[in-house]
Amino acid sequence: MPKLTHADSRGSARMVDVGGKRRTRREATARGTVRFGRIAYRLLKENRLAKGDALAVARLAGIQAGKRASEWIPLCHPIPIEHLELAIDLDDARRAAQVTAVARARWSTGVEMEALVAVAAACLALYDMTKAVERGVRVTEIELLAKSGGRSGAWKRPVRD
């Protein structure tokens, strides 16, 4: 069983000391899905929601949150993000918005949490922008797709069945 890096010898949570680690180029890609009912999806797609341009707000919310991931996640290190990109693709067949974030930094620890937090915030912003029309909007499947850099190297989520 692998050693847990965020626990001390007594099992108490701790922040990992990354001071001795080499700074390398890190990248992480995360994705999440927001599912809408018929009316909310139509209004979102047509940019006719009462609160305004939900896709623009969600992109900005994701970018802003990704830059502040260490404020959301207690043991996450503050990282000087070099690039954080957020895309939202609409899927008419599923009445869904697929949110994808890519985070990059040259640092001594990875950027997975920054990408995941960016996706979570963008998904929550889409919920907030559409909740007046439909409370049943669902945020689902927030997941890491890939990461690269650092001692553990590259990882990619296996293709689903």
Residues marked as catalytic: 128
Burial class (CB in 10 A: 0-12, 13-18, 19+), 13: exposed
Strand 138-148 with 24-35, pairing? antiparallel
Residues β-bridged to residue 155: 147
Residues 6 or more apart from 60 whose CB is under 8 A from it? none
Q: How far apart are the first and last CA of the chain?
A: 28
